[in-house]
Amino acid sequence: MARLPLPRVTLALAVGAACGLAAVAGAGGNLVVNGTFESGLVGFSSDYVHTPQGNVDEGTWWVHPPDPGGPWFGTQHTPGGAAAMSVNGDDSSQAGQKRVWYQTVAVKPGKTYRFSTWALATAAGFSGYSLRFAFDGVVVGGTIVPTQAFTWEEFTTTIVPSGRTVEISIKNVSGITFPNDFMLDDISLELVVAASDLNGDGTVDAADLGILLGAWGTCGACGNCPADLDGDCAVGPSDLGILLGDWTG
C-alpha cells in the first residue's frame, strides 16, 4: 500500500505542570527502548500472545516487520520508518488486566516526564480500542477510544515519578471480540526541562548560569541561540532574570 499522508489527532490524557516559565520535552532523548518498533521485537514485554504470522486469534500481537504477518494498516507512524505493533484485542474476562505493552525505564525521582504514544484503530469509538495508560500500575486519565478509524492519534500526559524506575503499561479494556483491532507506534517518555536548563540535566543551576554568561551578547544566529530565553536575539539581563527565576540549585 502506498504511504499516504494521514490526518493526526492529539488528545491530552492529563495536564501536568512543568517547571519554569517555558519547558521542553526531549532532553536526553526518548527513554523508552525501541518505542518505534524499528528494532523489531526487543525492549518491551506483553501479556498478550505473540503470533508472528499475524491475526490468528484474540489477545495477540505482532510487529511487522520483522514478523511476516501483515499490519492492520499499511502506513505506520514513524516518519521514514517501516514497523509498528499490530494488536488483536483480548476478549476474555481478563482483558482489563492484561498489558498489551509494558516496559520499565530508569527515571529521576521528582522530575517531570512527558509520555506519548500513537495508536490507530480499524474502527472508531469503543469497538476500535479502549486504552488505559498506567505508571507503576496507577492509571492516569480515563479510558481512551479512537475518534476516527485508520487515523493515527497521539495520547499524552505528564508524570512525576517518586522512584528511580517506572513501569509504563498500556491495556485494552473493552473485552469485545470484534473489531477491537489496533496498532501502536512511537511510544516515548522524555524528561521535561525548563528552557533555562541549558545543559538538559533536569536542574537549573550554576552549570546553566555558566553557559548563559558564556553566551552573553548578541546571538550569532537568532534561531540557534539556546541561552536567548526571551527570544530577542541577544543574551542579556532579561535572560539572566528568567534563569534565576527557574533556579533549582
Q: What are the pLDDT digits (tens) for 190-199?
A: 999 889 999 9
* Statement to judge: residues 79 and 165 lie in one domain: yes
Same domain for 22 and 46? yes
- Whether residues 40 and 131 share a domain: the answer is yes
Residue 188 and residue 68 in one domain:
yes
Q: Domain boundary at 194, 216, 232, which? A: 194
Range of the domain at 231: 206-245
Same-domain status, 55 and 154: yes
* Closest alpha carbon to 162 in 194, 196, 138, 195: 138
The count of domains in the chain is 2
Within a domain: 3: no
CATH code: domain of residue 170: 2.60.120.260
Please check whether residue 201 lies inside any domain of the structure. no
Asked whether residue 123 falls in the same domain as residue 238, the answer is no
Q: 144 and 112 in contact (C-beta within 8 Å)?
A: no
Q: Is residue 199 part of a domain?
A: no
pLDDT score, position 114? 95
Gap between the Cα atoms of 132 and 143, Å rounded: 5
Co-location of 39 and 59 in the same domain:
yes
138 and 229 assigned to the same domain = no
Q: Are residues 80 and 54 in the same domain?
A: yes
Tell whether 74 and 136 lie within a shared domain. Answer: yes
Give the C-alpha separation, 41 to 132, whole Å: 22
Q: How high is the pLDDT of residue 6? A: 37
pLDDT of the residue at 7: 40
CA–CA separation, 69 and 57 (whole Å): 13
Strand, coil or helix: what is 12? strand
Residue 45 falls inside a structural domain? yes
Is there a contact between 26 and 32 (Cβ–Cβ < 8 Å)?
Answer: no
What does the pLDDT read at residue 99? 98
Q: CA–CA separation, 62 vs 226, rounded Å? A: 42
Which pLDDT tens digits describe the chain residue by residue (249 residues)? Answer: 333 333 444 455 543 333 333 566 665 699 999 999 999 999 999 999 999 999 999 999 999 999 999 999 999 999 999 999 999 999 999 999 999 999 999 999 999 999 999 999 999 999 999 999 999 999 998 999 999 999 999 999 999 999 999 999 999 999 999 999 999 999 999 999 889 999 988 889 999 999 999 999 999 999 899 999 999 999 999 999 999 999 988
Is residue 231 a part of any domain in this protein? yes
What's residue 223's pLDDT? Answer: 87
> 120 near 128, Cβ under 8 Å?
no
**What is the pLDDT, as a whole number, of residue 200?**
84
- Give me the phi and psi of 209, to 5 degrees please: -60, -40
148 and 102 fall within a common domain: yes
Question: Rounded to whole angstroms, how far apart are CA atoms 222 and 226?
Answer: 9
Q: Is the pTM of this model over 0.75?
A: yes
Q: Do 228 and 145 share a structural domain? A: no
Last-in-domain residue among 156, 174, 194: 194
In the prediction, which pLDDT does 5 show? 36
User: Does residue 36 fall inside a structural domain?
Assistant: yes
2 is a domain residue: no
Task: Please work out, in degrees rounded to the nearest 5, the angle formed at the alpha carbon of residue 6 by the alpha carbons of 30 and 63.
Answer: 55
* Residue 200: inside a domain: no
